[in-house]
Structure 1
Amino acid sequence: MLTTLRRIVLAFGQEPELDLALQTLVSEVKLAMETECCSIYLANQERQHFLLMASDGLAKESLGQVKIGFSEGLVGLVGQREEPINIADAHNHPRFKHAPEVKEEAFNAFLGTPIIHQRRVLGIISVQQKQSRQFTENEEAFLVTLAAQLASTISNVESRGTISALLKRIDKTHMRAIPGASGVAIGNCFVSRPLADLSSITPSKQGSPAQQTRRLRLAIARTSKELIEMRARMDGSIPKDTLDIFDMYQQMLSSASIGDDIEKYIVGGWSAESALKLVIDRYVMQFEAVEDNYIRERAVDIKDLGNRVLLHLQDYQQKHIRLPDDLILVAQEVTASLLAEYQHKGLKGIISLSGSINSHAVILARALGIPAIMGVGDVPLSRFADKQAIIDGYSGEIFLAPTPAKIKHYQRLIEEESELQENVRKDIELEPVTLDGQSVELLMNAGLIAEFDRSMKHGASGIGLYRTEIAFMERGSFPSEKEQMAIYKNVLNSFKQQPVVMRTLDIGGDKTLEYFPINEANPFLGWRGIRVTLDHPELFLVQVRAMVRANIGRDNLQILLPMITSLPEVDEALRLIHQAYSEIRQEHGEAVKRPPVGIMLEVPSLIFQIPELAHRVDFFSVGSNDLTQYLLAVDRNNERVSSLYDAYHPAVLRALNIIAEQSKAHKVSLSLCGELASEPGGAILLLAMGYDKLSMNGYNVPRIKWVIRHISQKHARQMLETCLQLDTVTEVRGYLNQQLEQLGFGGFIRAGK
């Protein structure tokens, strides 16, 4: 049986179409178990029923039609008990439910077992037989083992995991995906397919390197001109710092490392298209290996840029296409440049089959106030063609061919949302001060944008986290002190007389450099962050000197040390910083100011060393994402356990509160950078704890500012006291959502006002 089981599971995993895979599976199981019927039901959590998806033995016309409630029938009983049910005479069981359309009257024996993934019942697999008998222990063990392996395989079939794609195929009008940019839109879908795609290129060698080099340079020049035109079209529509996305594209395009690498391949005999593919694929692979979603999205930009150069290499011309009114753009992957193409053509919303909330397309969509749905998954693009749609950027829902009643409902929500956004805009330049006078500083996280506008960023009062490793990842070797200094000057100039917190090089773990590989069995608990730079003081000193030099005459730099786990690490880092500072002071005299130095509190052990740390550094910055990950021992990018990752876990909230109490007692400035700060409920709790500064992506600053200005510190503390007494994440989130609704903040977590 073991060999048979392996063969069935392997065949299932290799079939790209889940519908076909499931149908093949039930036939294989029926044959292997020598029974007369095998069926698979999948759970629809939203509608609370199991749907018959595949069967060899039941009526074919019932597939995708028969629904059994979670509390109905033998299938529902298997799901409720979360264990196998083995019955000799199913018809006489009190839970038997007769469904005439499946035509199962002849079957008596029933064996069903749940398919469970991440503690949730995804579905039921059952076998049936005409003879009234109990299935044997070996048969039951076979089906249980198959169900366990089946759950794991289904979860890995597609990036969104589990069974969402199958349910979307059944319900062709209602889909749910990842909310990218909040807002609601009603419009008409237009499907955009790429004219040029590097993945379709088969690398080949070609003669005349000189001719191939000329072709490449001409294609790059045309792409550069196209990007300049895109930027010009959007100028005035969005904040200038968001426009810097296109400057970043230009920077990549003119990057010596990328251009030189492509030309090296051409000199080696490869065609321009092949050389472009080989280099772009290598960079994409490097960035896709990074766990940090914010950084990983750079892979999308590089791929997009490569396809645009390829378009000009192949000399394709965009034909004039008639676009619908109230355009909803649908594509396999909506990129920043694709959005820019259609932004001035009546664009109301975007739907991207792949992509995440950290993509530059989403950043642009938020700046433009355009709702976006990301990661729709395995749904054919043809499903959307020429369809009217409603998209809800709060819940991630898509309604195709909506009813008049649904349209009327969402039109009212759009009007309410417009009212709320207008109120938020009025407060954007005001100070984030509570109703009873408590202030908190709102800063922005940065690192991917090439340049910053000199004005306020969405009302942020500085940079709370600048990720310096981006500059290292974009190059083919360690950047020199002069190169780093130029980058840091640009950043410091963007927020004159306002704080700019620069984190020292944070590589290792998921962030590797092609020219400095780190291979470890468990990288997140290995050589990363400050551990790397202290082992390589030559790298650390060059970076600190570049920072201190860039700060001369500006005096708004603050240095942040990542992945600190012990006091000796802090002492050694401070010694090296003092060494770099002293060297530059000898050159420039009193014009050189010693920048404040802080540490990231992201390793749980530091919670118990705050008194000692307070005597050594100037400020603390909590990295809530990593702190949550380490406290809960959860890799949030691992589908098997990601559901356990939650910053609202009572243990995480209590740890954050202890840090705040200890920091206040020792009079150390405290900030937090992480996703928790960008959520209304999280910001309220952090305000109540006493965090001085909250750092987040710039687009979240206005709404968090509005929330802070419309709540009292006293009310926030009452909410915190209640949350600290709750036992589970579910209780915490339920209570916070209830409070947000009562306070009139519901419009920040759902559609409407």
Structure 2
Amino acid sequence: MVILQGKSVFGGVAIGKIQFFKRDEIQIKRRHVDDPEAEIRRFRTAKEKALSELQQLYDKALTDVGEANAMIFEAHQLMLEDPDYNDSVENIINTQKVNAEYAIGVTSDNYAAIFEAMDDAYMQGRAADVKDVSNRLLSQFAKKQNASFEMTEQVIIAADDLAPSETVQLDKDKVLAFITVEGSANSHTAILARTMNIPAVIGIGDTLTPKYDGKLAIVDGQEGKIYIDPDEEILVAMRKKQAVEQEQRELLETLKGKENVTRSGQKINLYANIANVSDVGAALRNDAGGIGLFRSEFLYLENETYPTEEQQFAAYRQVAEMMAGKRVIIRTLDIGADKQVGYFNLEKEDNPAMGLRAIRICLTRPELFKTQLRAIFRASAYGQIAIMFPMIISVSEVRRIKEIMDEVKTGLRADGIAFSDQIETGIMIETPAAVMISRELAKEVDFFSVGTNDLTQYTLAIDRQNRNLDSFYDSHHPAVLSMIQMAAENAHAEGKWIGICGELAADLSLTERFLQMNIDELSVAPGMILPLRKKIREL
């Protein structure tokens, strides 16, 4: 048995034979041409054919994976029509008097290199798009069009990498999983895999070779592992894991579209917690009523420097659009404590959990805060966005935040940039101080969301990262539950709603207790939404 390790893109277990993806290699040769104008006409004709193919792919993807993911091929059409790309191709043909194929190949390499050199992981992923678009153009010149990849049985697709157009054309009924040598978790292909519910492991490296073609394998998407020629013990264990997944899928299908309501008629909202744009697919598949916690700090954790306003705006806008009018609650930057970012240059602290973190960083670095707020407010024009502020301990903090938000709004109006005037603002209840003054805080905001992880830590005076204290740590401690209840009562007394977005929200043993507290919303990992709905409907 051989075990290969890669990066998980989408969970799930698949068992079957490996089939390596084969594509016709397009050979590019440099040829001198006497009539550059005729060669440019060849290029433009090929471009029109490629645009037509991309439109067909868009139509197919629209049916298979929805509008948000079909837009990949709309973006590819725009890339093909990009003036800089076209000017580069035609300029090479004119100045060097060479064939269109060579000019396309050089332009493709140049543009892909630019994207690959960028620090941003999302932009690096666009290099694959440039190559995909260019290969589509080049295929128009080939006498023999690339034959479609044939699968005679259900298989695990293996490849060096897969372009979005290749992924969407696969026969989904015959794809058990896909595994790749290279690949980015931020690539369109990865997003499509998650949307299509195909277990996927990428970045396996050179250990994944064609010598495994036809071998029996197991893909454990959750662990990012590939078992080739698995022994009987692993086969039995993985089949059991598959059976559990099948039960979950059946649960998902039966509960989709149903209300989160108890037998006695009490309703509660079930939202999803996400860390980035790629998690939205899982939220939608699991029938989330909205996004209760968008952990915006992951935009900072995944970057090598401060994400720009445009980067943040693009992410927030995409989530708002994909959720199509459902509430999206974006938590502002929550860096510090166990989430350290080098380029913030924070001083070393003896007790970082009680140090400069979250809203404290934002209020001491207002320009950083304003950049994020501008991006969020701009995105609010594209959906129902709400803002939530972490680690609040005083009314004065909330009032200072409001002043900064007013400054940001004034700046946006001056710049003529649209944003929603109906955006809700809320705070995290995760300190005992916030609980004790929650009645006063409720007068300042539209909602509360309880962060039970930190609330438990601060209430019990136990570092939740310290394994030596596990026997003392009790997330069900009566003091913690009493604090949640106090915050709920004070929120409702001021006519405001309250949710829970910490780990306790998904604790099925506490669901009934939370309903008794009249909690209005529970926000959990996408995979917990339907089990939680089942629990609620049985109470």
TM-score tier (shorter): 0.5 to 0.7
Query: Equivalent residue for 1:232?
Result: 59
- The answer to whether the 8 A contact 2:18-2:157 is kept is yes
Task: Give the CA deviation at 1:347.
Answer: 0.8
| Structure 2 CA distance for partners of 1:353 and 1:582, relative to 1, 3 Å | closer
| Structure 2 CA distance for partners of 1:487 and 1:599, relative to 1, 3 Å | closer
Task: Give the CA deviation at 1:276.
Answer: 0.8
**d(CA) in 1 for partners of 2:198 and 2:398?**
45
Are 1:569 and 2:358 counterparts? no
1:530 aligned to which of 357, 362, 366: 362
For residue 286 of structure 1, what is the amino acid of its counterpart?
A: D
Query: Equivalent residue for 1:245?
Result: 69
User: In structure 2, the residue corresponding to 1:650 is in which secondary structure?
Assistant: coil
Task: Give the CA deviation at 1:598.
Answer: 0.6
Query: Equivalent residue for 2:17?
Result: 188
- The answer to whether the 8 A contact 1:222-1:312 is kept is no
- RMSD of the TM alignment (CA)? 6.2
Q: CA-to-partner distance for each residue in 1:159-196, whole Å, 9 max, x for gaps?
A: xxxxxxxxxxxx42x56766654444332212247989
Are 1:286 and 2:110 counterparts? no
| Structure 2 CA distance for partners of 1:576 and 1:457, relative to 1, 3 Å | farther
Are 1:275 and 2:110 counterparts? yes
**d(CA) in 2 for partners of 1:703 and 1:222?**
48
Are 1:304 and 2:114 counterparts? no
For residue 276 of structure 1, what is the amino acid of its counterpart?
A: Y
TM-score by length of 2: 0.63
Task: Give the CA deviation at 1:274.
Answer: 4.7
**d(CA) in 1 for partners of 2:318 and 2:424?**
17
| Structure 2 CA distance for partners of 1:264 and 1:328, relative to 1, 3 Å | same
1:666 aligned to which of 455, 477, 490: 490
- The answer to whether the 8 A contact 2:358-2:391 is kept is no
1:400 aligned to which of 218, 228, 231: 228
Query: Equivalent residue for 2:154?
Result: 326
Counterparts of 1:169-208 in structure 2, within 5 Å, are: 171-172=1-2, 181-192=10-21
Are 1:422 and 2:246 counterparts? no
**d(CA) in 2 for partners of 1:649 and 1:335?**
50
For residue 650 of structure 1, what is the amino acid of its counterpart?
A: Y
**d(CA) in 1 for partners of 2:521 and 2:162?**
34
Q: CA-to-partner distance for each residue in 1:517-566, whole Å, 9 max, x for gaps?
A: 96635699579873487336875775576467x38xx9x55333356576
| Structure 2 CA distance for partners of 1:489 and 1:402, relative to 1, 3 Å | closer
**d(CA) in 1 for partners of 2:274 and 2:51?**
24
Task: Give the CA deviation at 1:466.
Answer: 5.4
| Structure 2 CA distance for partners of 1:321 and 1:547, relative to 1, 3 Å | closer
**d(CA) in 1 for partners of 2:48 and 2:390?**
40
For residue 214 of structure 2, what is the amino acid of its counterpart?
A: D
| Structure 2 CA distance for partners of 1:522 and 1:611, relative to 1, 3 Å | farther
| Structure 2 CA distance for partners of 1:412 and 1:464, relative to 1, 3 Å | closer
Task: Give the CA deviation at 1:387.
Answer: 0.8
Q: CA-to-partner distance for each residue in 1:480-503, whole Å, 9 max, x for gaps?
A: 9xx97998699379544x534345
Task: Give the CA deviation at 1:704.
Answer: 4.2
User: In structure 2, the residue corresponding to 1:666 is in which secondary structure?
Assistant: helix
Task: Give the CA deviation at 1:702.
Answer: 3.7
Task: Give the CA deviation at 1:444.
Answer: 3.7
- The answer to whether the 8 A contact 2:4-2:208 is kept is no
- The answer to whether the 8 A contact 1:219-1:310 is kept is no
For residue 17 of structure 2, what is the amino acid of its counterpart?
A: N
Query: Equivalent residue for 1:124?
Result: none
Query: Equivalent residue for 2:473?
Result: 650
Task: Give the CA deviation at 1:391.
Answer: 3.4
Task: Give the CA deviation at 1:341.
Answer: 3.4
Task: Give the CA deviation at 1:340.
Answer: 2.1
**d(CA) in 1 for partners of 2:391 and 2:47?**
40
**d(CA) in 1 for partners of 2:525 and 2:76?**
22
**d(CA) in 2 for partners of 1:359 and 1:659?**
43
**d(CA) in 2 for partners of 1:369 and 1:357?**
15
User: In structure 2, the residue corresponding to 1:236 is in which secondary structure?
Assistant: helix
For residue 14 of structure 2, what is the amino acid of its counterpart?
A: A
User: In structure 2, the residue corresponding to 1:308 is in which secondary structure?
Assistant: helix
**d(CA) in 2 for partners of 1:648 and 1:365?**
40
**d(CA) in 2 for partners of 1:182 and 1:594?**
37
Query: Equivalent residue for 2:345?
Result: 520
**d(CA) in 1 for partners of 2:74 and 2:335?**
25
- The answer to whether the 8 A contact 2:328-2:386 is kept is yes
Counterparts of 1:597-608 in structure 2, within 5 Å, are: 597-600=425-428
| Structure 2 CA distance for partners of 1:424 and 1:653, relative to 1, 3 Å | same
User: In structure 2, the residue corresponding to 1:391 is in which secondary structure?
Assistant: strand
Gaps of at least 5 residues in structure 1 are 1-170, 198-209, 288-297, 586-591, 635-640, 713-753
Counterparts of 1:101-116 in structure 2, within 5 Å, are: none
Q: CA-to-partner distance for each residue in 1:691-714, whole Å, 9 max, x for gaps?
A: 54233565664454335445x4xx
- The answer to whether the 8 A contact 1:673-1:694 is kept is yes
- The answer to whether the 8 A contact 2:155-2:177 is kept is yes
| Structure 2 CA distance for partners of 1:309 and 1:607, relative to 1, 3 Å | farther
**d(CA) in 2 for partners of 1:262 and 1:600?**
50
Are 1:491 and 2:320 counterparts? yes
User: In structure 2, the residue corresponding to 1:459 is in which secondary structure?
Assistant: coil
Identity of aligned residues (%): 22
Gaps of at least 5 residues in structure 2 are 27-36, 96-102, 414-419
**d(CA) in 2 for partners of 1:547 and 1:400?**
46
**d(CA) in 1 for partners of 2:343 and 2:335?**
9
- The answer to whether the 8 A contact 1:647-1:653 is kept is no
- The answer to whether the 8 A contact 2:23-2:149 is kept is no
**d(CA) in 1 for partners of 2:232 and 2:365?**
61
**d(CA) in 2 for partners of 1:422 and 1:703?**
11
Task: Give the CA deviation at 1:381.
Answer: 2.5
For residue 464 of structure 1, what is the amino acid of its counterpart?
A: G
For residue 71 of structure 2, what is the amino acid of its counterpart?
A: D
Query: Equivalent residue for 1:350?
Result: 178
For residue 443 of structure 1, what is the amino acid of its counterpart?
A: Y
**d(CA) in 2 for partners of 1:443 and 1:627?**
20
**d(CA) in 1 for partners of 2:521 and 2:536?**
12
For residue 379 of structure 1, what is the amino acid of its counterpart?
A: T
User: In structure 2, the residue corresponding to 1:660 is in which secondary structure?
Assistant: helix
**d(CA) in 1 for partners of 2:181 and 2:234?**
23
Q: Which moved more, 1:356-365 or 1:424-433?
A: 356-365
Query: Equivalent residue for 2:444?
Result: 616
TM-score by length of 1: 0.48
| Structure 2 CA distance for partners of 1:436 and 1:370, relative to 1, 3 Å | farther
- The answer to whether the 8 A contact 1:599-1:619 is kept is yes
Q: Which moved more, 1:384-393 or 1:186-195?
A: 186-195
**d(CA) in 1 for partners of 2:436 and 2:89?**
54
For residue 135 of structure 2, what is the amino acid of its counterpart?
A: L
Q: CA-to-partner distance for each residue in 1:652-672, whole Å, 9 max, x for gaps?
A: 676975762442242263334
Q: CA-to-partner distance for each residue in 1:433-474, whole Å, 9 max, x for gaps?
A: 356766431124569669x99x9764222332457899999x
**d(CA) in 1 for partners of 2:433 and 2:84?**
45
Task: Give the CA deviation at 1:429.
Answer: 0.8
**d(CA) in 2 for partners of 1:181 and 1:366?**
5
Task: Give the CA deviation at 1:428.
Answer: 0.8
Rg larger in 1 or in 2? 1
Q: How many residues align?
A: 482
